[in-house]
Amino acid sequence: MVAMFNFMKKTPTNKPETPEQRAARDSAVDKVLLGYEVGTVSIATMVTGLNRDGDQLTLDLRLPQESKPEAIQQELGQLLHPHGITTIHMNVRLPAPEKGSGSSLPKKMPKTTNAMDSQSKPAANPDDNSNNDNSAEPPITKAAPTQASLAAHPRIRHIIVVASGKGGVGKSTTTVNIALALQKLGNRVGVLDADIYGPSMPTMLGVADMKPQLENEQFVPVDAHGIAMLSIGSLLDGDNTPVAWRGPKATGALMQLYNQTNWPQLDYLVIDMPPGTGDIQLTLAQRIPVTGAVIVTTPQHVALLDAQKGIEMFNKTHIPVLGVVENMALHTCSNCNHTEAIFGTGGGEKIAEQYHVPLLGQLPLASGIRAQVDKGEPSVLADDEFAPYYLSIAKNIETNINKFAKPVDDKRIF
């Protein structure tokens, strides 16, 4: 591989160079770098950045793991000194060591300088690497935040996340109805739509046209039937505006919605999570004090496999699983009243038993549930025939949640 080097031509003020002299020096430097080998590979293939400023040369290098940067620096200094290079700066990055050989973090070498004059020092012994270990930055050892280290929100008693291993299991519909059911039981409830890429809470609560106000540089949640609701969907220009963001920006939006919102005093903040176990879930687990998680699944085998991954993720991040909700459990024909388990039977019971968590409830597969959220009046709000299912789930949540509550610092002032 032949590397093309672009030099920054800056002539020393005490001895101006002609264009011909600069070209000759550049050519000589190129020839030295192309001919110098680390092991059996030309160092030119390892150069990621190069800059020449008069008699100084700066190299950005990605070297093999077993190389000796300071020995290389000394040898290059001797080879380039006859061509007018008196100082070499090397910024070296070594790859991560192989598995089992120590830290898996790449070690970034600090900038090193080799000043060469007419009586330059001899090259260092290649076998002497006593200085290498001292110059390397230590690996990062600070652990990521855990749930135990997070302080409870001063105005929110419980934060519940409603999650699923995969999409299409009715998670958002379940979230909005559970929130309304908790409110109907006499609680002060808020909803945070953390499904950044597919926000649906504004539509389901019938407040798609309402925008949150700003007060003292904080969002004021939208009042949706007495529920304090905030969603990225409330901040977009229209229903067809896509949120095409990479992970860091999406997680940043979630934290902004949580931290920069003037939440009222709440008994419950119910968070509608996106499906899966990605960036947003991990950010939430490390930065938001969660009381517990509710897992929504269908009896279908594939959905159960993904729900297990969700439970395992919450177990690893030390977030208690409050229980499992089995959605679309049974379908009753509106014409003949025949009841059929379209997606299978016993799935929710099986996963609840496997992980020793409660089965909070089983919901039917019914077009009425879908129709109510489509028009912004969920079943609990409409008090239809399906509302008792969600009220039962909310009661089951309230039965066990206090044992998972996080201590609140009443002296904390925002």
Residues annotated in a binding site: 165-172
Q: Residue 6's Cα: distance from chain center in Å? A: 37
Burial class from Cβ neighbours inside 10 Å (0-12, 13-18, 19+) for residue 14 reads exposed
**Collapsing DSSP states into helix, strand and coil, what is residue 183?**
helix
Q: Give the residue numbers of the binding site for ATP.
A: 165-172
Structure tokens at 253: 């939006």
Do 8 and 51 meet the contact criterion of CB atoms below 8 Å apart? yes
Nearest to 251 by CA among 218, 221, 286: 286
Do 171 and 272 meet the contact criterion of CB atoms below 8 Å apart? yes
206: left (phi over 0), alpha (psi -120 to 50) or beta: left
Bridge pairing between strands 218-220 and 213-215: antiparallel
Helical (H) or strand (E) element with 87 = strand 87-93
Which residues sit opposite 214 in a β-bridge?
219
Nearest to 196 by CA among 160, 229, 168, 233: 233
- CA–CA separation, 392 vs 395, rounded Å? 5
**Collapsing DSSP states into helix, strand and coil, what is residue 386?**
coil
**Full DSSP string of 43-60:** GGGGEEEEEEETTEEEEE
> Amino acid identity of 326?
E
- CA–CA separation, 394 vs 390, rounded Å? 6
In angstroms, how far is the first alpha carbon of the chain from the final one?
Answer: 59
CA distances from residue 39 to 48, 72, 258 in whole angstroms, order as listed? 18, 11, 53
For 72, residues 6+ apart whose C-beta sits below 8 A from its C-beta are 38, 43, 63, 90
DSSP state of 237: S
